[in-house]
Structures are given as structure tokens and as C-alpha cells.
Amino acid sequence: MAGADVRISSWTPKHVARWLKEEGFCEYVDLLCVQHRLDGASLLTLTEYDLRSPPLELKVLGDIKRLMLSLRRLRQRNGHALQELGVACNGQVHVCEGQGLVCNGHPLSGDMAVPGLASEQCHQHTNGKCRQHRRQLDPECWKTVVSFIYVMFVIGVTSFIMVIVHDRVPDMQTYPPLPDIFLDSVPRIPWAFAMAEACGLILCFFWFLVLLLHKHRSILMRRLCSLMGTVFMLRCVTMFVTSLSVPGQHLQCSAKMYGDIWAKLQRALVIWSGFGMTLTGVHTCGDYMFSGHTVVLTMLNFFVTEYTPRSWNIIHTLSWVLNLFGIFFILAAHEHYSIDVFIAFYITTRIFLYYHTLANTRAYQQSRRARVWFPMFSFFECNVHGPVPNEYCWPFSKPAFMKALIG
């Protein structure tokens, strides 16, 4: 046999050429060993994708399949060599259609993975077909609890800041509403703000269904709480540092309503318990830069569309319609300036995209600046390797539980 007295990791292109001839692939010796100088280490990591793609581009399907079968037998006999190369564990390696390496039933990832190979587990059926499984993601529910505590704390701080800015709202007689192209052109619709909140509730219902049925619901909930908390913490700063005049004369805003700190805390508790919604009887002034309702609408829309399959076009279209109509109703109610809504939409979308780009590429691991500016992000996402797959499952362990619940 080729190189029987030489470790396969030390094979030269000549040893590989001898092995190819023994396996019956003489016509590929020149291509693989002479032109591309394939040695033992590179032979072990050769995949079907490599054979089909440039620069090799093998054209005969039967030869590709037979060569891959020979390679699999070679890997099985040389598990120790793969372990030395850093692409195996305990000498047990399996390859699924040439797309990735799996050891002991777990996909190789991180430093152990071979570049260009997908980290998916494969299961060989009796009919010879390969079924691929996604990697297992640790839900880390305790981190989700931490993120929930974080967002509820931020909502409490936001509620208290809303009470403070209400006391600082500029006098309507001295500071009339600022010029605004949209507000000056579109007459006010009294019931529009209630419709905007109704759009938000419908989006929240959609998100609850996605969260309930998604296999990785803990990670999704953690990301939503993290992003919501971060955006609203930024909103606390912007509405505290600058007080804008009210956007419409219909708003009845009386400054200095809450004198002592205890009255402020009681009012903040009312706002916190009602989530700042007019449907729950909460009415505030001064919290204009930027629109919190727009943040919620946009964030829910992006989470619904991100964590549902692309083929769910009706859900995605309806989600975007609710988002855009909700924004229109906010402006039509003259509850916010146009700049409030625009800035809220821009900040929310950018933070959502930046967060998921960093999480999907794990770029923060190579960037000290990212770890400095996003310490909480690194804490939440350190064990999530790559994009979260959209997989769904029944949330209850036993159907009998649902039968008993429904009665």
C-alpha cells in the first residue's frame, strides 16, 4: 500500500500519486499531484466541494463519488493523523457529503474546524442518503433571565426620566410647536395614536407565536431584551438632555405636576406598569426625542421577519405593513415630530443589524474595540456560534399537558 512505512501526515505528492494509482484513479494523478501538489495533510481535508469546484472541476460524477468513498476509508484508517492535524477528536471522524467533519456525533467548530467546511452533523440512512442536523445551541436560560431583569430595569429608569422631563416641558405659550413638514401638511386624526398602539399589539402577538414555537426561543428572547434595553437606555439620555416643545396644541401638558421625589416615583411606577401606553391610561409629555412607540414597532417587525423562514411572505408583508402604518398613525396623531420617528427608526434598525452582524460572524472575538463597547453583548453571545437557525418545535414536552390545559 502507498506509504505503508510513512505516516500519512508526512506523505508527499509522490505518496499521494501512488495511493491514487492503487485506488484506480490514475487519470487524476497529474491534476492532483503534479499541478496542485496535493500532499497527505491536504488529501485528508479534501472534500467533494473541492473536487467539483475550481480549480479542480472534475466532470465525471462517478469518479467524484468513488474518490470520496476511498477518502472516507482512508480517513477511518488514519483517525490519529486527523487528530494531530486538529480536525478530529478521539480519532473518530465522519464526513457528510464532503461538506464538513463531525467527531463523536458533534460538528467541529472554531479552531478545530477546517476552513470552508460546514459544521453540520450527518446521519447515514440505510438507503445511503445523508441527513444533516444543525448544531446544538445551549439555551442558557439564566442569561435570558438576566436580560429580562436588565430590560425591566431600563423600563423603570425610562419611566422615571419621563416624569422628570414632563416637569421640564417648555411652556406652550412661550415655546409653540416647531415647524414640521408632515405635521403642518396632514391634519390631526384624534384616534390615530390608539391605532398605532393596536398595530404594536398585533405585532407583539405575532412575535409571541414565533417565540413560543421557535426551538431557540431562549436566545431570541435574550436578544430582544438586550436590544430593547439598550435602545431605551439611549432614549433616556436623548430625552433628558434636550426638552423639545410639544408637537401639537391639542396636548395638555402642565409642568411641575409632581413635586417631591415620592410623587415622582409613584408616577414612574404607574408609567412602568402601563408600559407607557395610552391604552392603559398613561399620558406623558416631553418624551419626544426619540419615539419609543416607533422603537417597539420596528424592533418587533425586525425580529418577526428575521426569525421566520423567508418563504413566509404573508407574515413578512403583514409585519412590515403594521410597522409602517403604526409609524404613520403616530405622526397622524401629532404625538411626535417627524424627526422623532425618523431617528427612532434609524437607530433601531442600525443597532439590530449591527448586533446580528457581530453575532453571526463572531467578529467581536477578534476586535478589542467591540468587546469594550459591547461588553454585555459579548456576555450574552459568547456561546452562540454563528446564525441561529429557524427551527420550530412544540414547546410542551407532552401533548397531554395541553389537553389538560384546554380541558
Residues involved in catalysis: 293, 336, 340
Where do we find the cell 431570541? 220
Alpha helices in 250-312 (DSSP H): 261-273, 292-306
CA-wise closest residue to 296 among 232, 243, 371, 244: 232
Spatial contact of 179 and 348, defined as CB atoms under 8 Å apart: no
| Alpha carbon 332 to its chain's center | 32
Distance CA 396, CA 75 (A): 41
Spatial contact of 301 and 203, defined as CB atoms under 8 Å apart: yes
What are φ and ψ of residue 307, in 5° steps? Answer: -110, 30
What are φ and ψ of residue 404, in 5° steps? Answer: -70, -35
Alpha helices in 4-124 (DSSP H): 13-23, 29, 40-44, 48-52, 61-77, 79-85
Q: Write the CB contacts of 87 (distance below 8 Å, at least 6 apart in sequence).
A: 44, 45, 93, 101, 108, 112, 113, 114
Where do we find the cell 439620555? 237
CA-wise closest residue to 353 among 319, 293, 305: 305
Distance CA 166, CA 336 (A): 15
Q: How is 354-393 classified by DSSP, letter by letter?
A: HHHHHHHHTGGGS-HHHHHH-HHHHHHHTT--SPPP--B-
Q: Which set of grid coordinates corresponds to residue 93?
A: 471522524
Q: Which set of grid coordinates corresponds to residue 56?
A: 479542480
DSSP code, position 90: T
The arrangement of strands across the sheet holding 94-95 comes to 94-95, 101-103, 106-107
CA-wise closest residue to 383 among 366, 371, 365: 365
Spatial contact of 211 and 134, defined as CB atoms under 8 Å apart: no
